[in-house]
Amino acid sequence: MSDFQLNEVDLEQERKEILRAFKGLLRAVKTRSREQTKMIRKAFDVAVEAHKDMRRKSGEPYIYHPIAVARICAEEMGLGTTSVICALLHDTVEDTHITLQDVEDLFGVKTRTIIDGLTKIPEVFDENASIQAENFRKMILTISDDIRVVLIKLADRLHNMRTLDSMKADKQLKIASETKFLYAPLAHRLGLYSVKSELDDLAFKYTDSEVYKQIESSLKSTQDVRNRFIRKFIQPLKEALQFEGYVFDMKVRTKSISSIWKKMQTKEIPFEEVYDLFAIRIIVDTPIELEKSDCWRIYSIVTDFYQPSPERLRDWISTPRANGYESLHTTVMSPQGKWVEVQIRSKRMDEIAERGLAAHYKYKEDKSEDSKFDRWIAEIRELMDNPELSAMDFVNEFKMNLFSDEIYVFTPKGELRVLPTGATILDFAYDIHTDIGDTCIGAKVNMKLVPLSYQLQNGDQIEIITSEKQKPNEDWLRMVASARAKQKIKSSLNEERKAISLDGKEILERKFKQFNIRFIGENLTTLERFYDMPSTGELYFRLAKGKIDLSRLREMENVNGILQIEKKNAQPKDKHELDVYPKINKKEDVLIIGEDFKNIQYRLAKCCNPIPGDLVFGFITTNDGINIHRNNCVNAEHLQSKLAYRCVKSKWKSQKLESHLVSLRLIGIDDVGIVNKITEIISNELNVNMKSISFEANDGLFEGKISVLVYDREHLDQLTQKFELIEGVKRIERWHTEGEEENLDDTVEDVLS
C-alpha cells in the first residue's frame, strides 16, 4: 500500500467523522424548522469547502473547530439557528476566500453583520497592550450591533481553551492570561456561569499549572470517599422525592479548581478544610406557577432528613439576586457531621443560571426562534439607543453584573486600563503616570467635567486635566483606591513636606540671627515645647506655612543666646477638668472654640459648615455635645428663638492650622477658559486644597460647585475675592449640602418632659 492510498482511506474516514460531528450538532439544535435545518446544512457545506485544506495545530481537520463552537452555542448557551450558522462560518471570512458579500448573498444581512463583528476581533491579540485594549473595547462595543457576536466569540474562546494543549507553551500562557483577563469576566457579566468557571479553570491550568495539578490530584484522590458519601447522603432524599411524585434531577456540583484555590487563599486553609467542595443540586421539573411552593416543599423534605443551619439559608426565589439568579440554598448537617450545601431550584431557574441571558428568552411565550431573538435584540437596542448608557452600562442594566472587584476604563485614545472597583480619576491619573497624578486637577469623563473624587464606572473614557501648579495633598490619600496611587501620593507629600520644612528652617535661622539667638539644638527643643510641636520637622513645616507666630519669641527670655521660657507667660498646663456643661449654661459665658476646650465635646454643624472667623453660636444637644452653627445658618432662627436656653455664645479661639471644608457655588457665563481660571486660582495663587469640583454648563450659563479646604474666614474671603475678579463670574455663594438639618428629635422630648 502506498502512502497516497493510505491518505485516501484516511480522508474518506475523516469525511465520515466530520459528518458525524455535524449530526451531533444538529441534534443539539433542538427546535428548528425544515427551512432552518437547510440553512444550517448550507452553512456547514460552505465552511467545509472553505476550510477544506486547513488543519488545526493538533492535526485534525479545521472544520471540527467551527462545528464544536456552533455546538457550544446551541448546547451550552441555548442559542438558536442564526448563531449556529454564524458559528459555523465564524472563521471563513478571516481565513479563507469567502467574503462578507458572499455571506450576505448566501445567508442574509443579519448573518453578515455578526460575521463582520466576529472578524474584527482577532484570535490572538497583538503584543502591544494598547492594541489589545482597543480591540477589547471594539468587542464590547459590538454589543450594540448584536450581542451574539460576543456570545459566539466566547464559545470560540471556550473551544480554543479546551484544545489549548496542542499549542506551544508560550502561546498557551498568552492565550490563558488573556482568557482570564478579558473573556472570563465578560462571561461572568453576561451571566454565563458555567462558561465563566470553565474558562477560569482552563486558564488557571496554564497560568498556575503546579497549583492546578495539586488541587486536581487532591480532588481525584478524595473522589471515591466523596462519591460514597454523596450516594449515601442523597439516597433517602431521592426515595422521598420519588415517593412524593416529583419529576426531578439531582446533580453534584463540584467547586471549580480556581474557586477552590481562591477559597484556600482567602481563608488561608489547606485543601482538606474547604468544606464546600461540592454542592447537591435538586432540579425540579415543574410549571412556573408551582416553582416556589415546590422548592419549599422539597426544602422541607430535605430538612426532614438533615438538620439545616439557619444562618445558611438563602432564599433567592422570593428575592432573586441582582443578576437574576434564582435558587433556594441551604446547608445541612450530614450524619457524619459534615456540612453539605443543598441547592433547590426549578428547571427554568437552573437553565437561566447555567446559560445566562439566552435562556431567559426561551421561557417567553412566543415559541418561534427568531422572534424570540428579535425581541431580545430589540430590548438591547432600546437600551443602546439611550445615549446616557455606555455599552457596559447596558450589561449592568441587564443585571448581569455580579460584584466584580475590577473595573475597565479607557484613555482618550481607547487604551484599556484595569483599576480596582471604587477607583477615582486620581487612581486613573496615577495609573497613567506619576506626573499626571501629581498635577491632576480634574477630568472629563465621557466628555463631562468631574471632580477628583469622582468614582469611575466600567466603560468610562477619561481625559485628565492637569495644571503645573497642582500638588498632591493629604486628602488625596482618602480619595484613591489603588495601592499604587496611594504610594505615589505619599512619596510626593513627603518630598513636598521636606522642601517646605527647609523653607521653615531658613525662616527660623534668619529670625534667630535677628534676635541674637543661637541656632542650636537646645533652643530648638525649647521652641518645640513653647509652641507645643511634636517635632522640629513639624515646627519648620508650620513656620513655612506661616502658622507659627514668631513675634511670640519676645515672650521668652534670651540669656546669652539661649532661650528660656518665662514662667509667667507660659501656657497654663492645668487642664480644664471642670464640669463644663453647668459652666457654659450661664448665659454670660462664651464658649471658646479651640484646643483648651478639648474636654467639651463639640462639633461643627454639617448644615452650615462654620469655619474660624464666621460668627457662630453653640447649641447644646442632649447626646452629641455642642454643635457649632453659623449665625446665619438656616437652623439658627429656630434654635435661637425656640430653644434659646440651649444656645451658647461662642467664638473662635485663634487661627488654627486645621483646615475646614467649604463649598462654594459659582454662577456665571459659560466660557471655555473659565474652569481653568478657577482651578488655577485655587491651586496656584492661594495654595488652597480643592476637594472636589464640578461644573455644569447650560445654554451659555455655567454653574460650578467647588469644595475647598481653607483655614479660616479671612482665607476664604481672599479666595472669593479672587474669584470675583474672573471675567464671567456673576455670583459666588457659600453652599452647603442639602438635607442636613439639626437633629431636633431629642428636642421634642425635652419640651414635653
Please report, as ranges, the residues that interact with Mn ion according to CB under 5 A: 91, 156
The answer to whether the beta carbons of residues 75 and 29 sit under 8 Å apart is: no
Which of residues 94 and 671 has its CB atom nearest to Mn ion in the complex?
94
d(CA 501, CA 493): 12
Strands (E), 435-594: 440-445, 448-450, 462-466, 556-559, 562-565, 590-593
User: How many C-beta neighbours within 10 Å does residue 115 have?
Assistant: 27
Read off the C-alpha cell for 48: 467545509
Given the DSSP bridges, would you call strands 647-652 and 590-593 parallel, antiparallel or unpaired?
A: parallel
d(CA 488, CA 477): 10
Q: SS in 3 state form for 660-694?
A: EEEEEEEEEECCCCHHHHHHHHHHHHCCCEEEEEE
Read off the C-alpha cell for 8: 485516501
d(CA 508, CA 100): 78
With 0-12 CB in 10 A as exposed, 13-18 as middle and 19+ as buried, what is 3? exposed
* CA-based end-to-end distance of the chain: 112
Handedness of CA 164, 165, 168, 173 (dihedral sign): positive
What is the nearest approach in angstroms of Mn ion to the Cβ of residue 95? 9
The answer to whether the beta carbons of residues 230 and 252 sit under 8 Å apart is: yes
94 is catalytic: yes
Nearest to 395 by CA among 199, 178, 142, 196: 142
Which of residues 91 and 460 has its CB atom nearest to Mn ion in the complex?
91
Nearest residue to Mn ion, scored by beta-carbon proximity: 156
Helix (H, G, I), strand (E, B) or coil at 650: strand
Q: Which of 14, 60, 75, 94 is catalytic?
A: 94
With 0-12 CB in 10 A as exposed, 13-18 as middle and 19+ as buried, what is 103? buried
d(CA 227, CA 217): 15
Residue with cell 448665659: 587
Which of residues 91 and 102 has its CB atom nearest to Mn ion in the complex?
91
Instruction: Report CA 615 to chain centroid distance, whole Å.
Output: 43
The answer to whether the beta carbons of residues 89 and 66 sit under 8 Å apart is: yes
Say what the alpha-carbon torsion angle 650, 651, 656, 658 is, to the nearest 10 degrees: 40
Distances (CA, A) of 448 to 122, 460, 465, 673: 32, 11, 12, 15
Nearest to 185 by CA among 385, 20, 405, 470: 405
The answer to whether the beta carbons of residues 175 and 207 sit under 8 Å apart is: no
Which of residues 161 and 317 has its CB atom nearest to Mn ion in the complex?
161
d(CA 195, CA 185): 10
Q: Which of 95, 354, 370, 528 is catalytic?
A: 95
Distances (CA, A) of 397 to 316, 374, 387, 419: 19, 18, 14, 21
With 0-12 CB in 10 A as exposed, 13-18 as middle and 19+ as buried, what is 610? buried
Strands (E), 52-185: none
Residues that are catalytic:
94-95
